[in-house]
Amino acid sequence: MSKWKIAGISLAGLMLAGWVFVNSPLMMAAFFYFIAPSQSFAEDQRQAGPDYTNPDYWAARPDKEDSADVQPNGFSSNASVSKPVAVFFVHPTTYVRGDHWNQPLDHAATNKTTDDTVMRDQASVFNGCCDVYAPRYRQATLFAFSDTSEAKNGQQALAHAYGDVAAAFEQFLQENPQRPIVLAGHSQGSHHLDRLIEERVVGTDVEQRLVAAYPIGFSVDTSNGLPVCESARQTGCQATWNANAEGANVVLAQPGDICVNPLTWTTDTVLAGHEANLGSVTFGALGDIEPGVADAMCQNGQLIVSEVRSPNYDFMPFGEGNYHIYDYSFYHMNLRQNVQARVDTFLASQAERVENTLN
């Protein structure tokens, strides 16, 4: 790789970190150019697949201390006690480089980003209700989503990543053969989760154990076959959204996408005001619970936020008004409350079925 391209990748990293504001299409195009792998997917070198019987290949597990155990200030639940439900969480893209099409599993900087941001700010939302499992996987580099080559390198990289996710899910099921489960992810993780739901969950025995799925932060419609959550306590369904301001330059949602309002847990187009927000949480700002930060309204597949009432959510790497990185953080406490409500409903229904069988 030439020195100028190495310098370009470094510049791209700074851009993503906020040193340069990525807003215009030209800047975004330049950014993606510098993180494009110089070799094809076929020419790229990849490590052997992960051994998911080894805890080292998991970013979070209930039998290890990890960043998914963290809780907001003022909130207390015993994260160390085994829960009746297990969550399988698939993390978003944290590999923003052009060295390879897929992340080497031993890439320390990427793993640290996954742990210090995603496990902490996203996967941790489930630690009150569930034992959290989150695999490390050979995720596709960010450029894979914008690749338009005839060789379909990006699609191959994403398919390769999905293979790891599917293998991790099989190990997860082996370790949790009877327990109710929750499925969750964000961005690239939700892309893989969408396929996993269609291929490994819907129409199988696993679907009968599914409390709910949260494939948040990606364009997800109903084609995976799982019902959409229409109320706060419905189970066996999926809830997802893509948050942005109205008129944002970069919008990830598409018309026809599922949008479940995380303040009302309905799919209608009624605005839920700031007063309905129980608390946003970002551990980058010390993990305080901030009620009323963001409102929410579903519109054309998008979750529209009209105003953000906190200075702790002003970093927008995808451009002004795109709140992709805050899909979880904006609604942290509402999501905590909701997944617990669905778990309680599912367990109560399960207990009732057992009692009826005995009688």
Measure the CA–CA gap between 248 and 294, rounded to whole angstroms.
16
The verdict on 13 and 53 lying in the same domain is no
Q: Tell me, what's the pLDDT at 12?
A: 35
Closest CA to 96 of 12, 161, 158: 12
The verdict on 61 and 105 lying in the same domain is yes
The verdict on 143 and 257 lying in the same domain is yes
Q: What is the DSSP letter of 272?
A: B
The verdict on 39 and 23 lying in the same domain is no
The verdict on 94 and 225 lying in the same domain is yes
The verdict on 136 and 22 lying in the same domain is no
Per the structure, the count of domains in the chain is 2
Measure the CA–CA gap between 136 and 149, rounded to whole angstroms.
27
Classify 36 as helix, strand or coil: coil
The verdict on 326 and 201 lying in the same domain is yes
Q: Tell me, what's the pLDDT at 30?
A: 65
- Mean pLDDT per segment of 10 residues, for the chain of length 359 residues? 32 35 55 85 94 98 96 79 92 96 96 97 97 98 93 97 98 97 98 98 98 98 98 98 96 96 98 98 93 98 98 93 97 98 95 72
The verdict on 177 and 214 lying in the same domain is yes
Q: 338: buried, middle or exposed (CB in 10 Å: 19+, 13-18, 0-12)?
A: buried
The verdict on 272 and 211 lying in the same domain is yes
The verdict on 279 and 131 lying in the same domain is yes
Q: Which amino acid is at 299?
A: Q
The verdict on 181 and 293 lying in the same domain is yes
Whether residue 33 contacts residue 5, with contact meaning beta carbons closer than 8 Å, is answered with no
Q: Tell me, what's the pLDDT at 6?
A: 31
Classify 13 as helix, strand or coil: helix
**Residue range of the domain that includes 308:** 35-358
The encoded tokens of residue 355 equal 């009692």
The partner residues of 132 in beta bridges, in order of sequence, read 87
Measure the CA–CA gap between 92 and 98, rounded to whole angstroms.
17
Q: What is the DSSP letter of 201?
A: I
The verdict on 173 and 65 lying in the same domain is yes
Measure the CA–CA gap between 68 and 131, rounded to whole angstroms.
10
